[in-house]
Amino acid sequence: QVQLVESGGGLVQAGGSLRLSCAASGRTFSRNDMGWFRQAPGKEREFVAAISRSGDRTYYAGSVKGRFTISRDNVKNTVYLQMNSLTPADAAVYYCAAARGPLSGGVDFWGQGTPVTVSS
C-alpha cells in the first residue's frame, strides 16, 4: 500500500508560480511511476504530467508542456510539480498518482488532492 500526501497548493495570480509536492509512504516509491492529474469544477479528471520510476522519462499534457516540470527525489520519496506561467485555466484540484507499472496502464494509488486557484 502506498499513501500519497500532496502539499503546496494555494492561491496565485495569473503569471505566477507554484510548486506542488507529493510525499509517498512505503518502501516501493522508487519502483512506482508517478504522476499528477487535475480536476476542475464540472470537468473530468485529466492527466497533467508523469515521470518514470528512475526519473529519466517525463511526459506532459499539451496544455502544460513548457510551463510545468515534474521531478522526483527517490531518497525523499517525493515527487514535485513546478508550475510556472499559471493561468486561470490551470485552476483545479491537483492529485498525485502512483502506478506499479506505466502510469498509462492505470493508477493504483491516489492522493487526496491539493487545490490550486489562479486569479486573473
Across 12-19, average pLDDT: 98
In this structure, the strands spanning 109-110 and 92-99 are: antiparallel
The b/e string for 72-111 (b: 16+ C-beta within 10 A; e otherwise) is bebeebbbbbebeebeeebbbbbbbbbbbeebeeebebeb
Type of residue found at 36? W
pLDDT tens column, 58-104: 999 999 999 999 999 999 999 999 999 999 999 999 999 999 988 88
- The per-residue pLDDT for 104 is 87
pLDDT tens column, 25-42: 987 888 899 999 999 999
**Helix ranges restricted to H, the chain:** none
Question: Would you give the DSSP letter of residue 40?
Answer: -
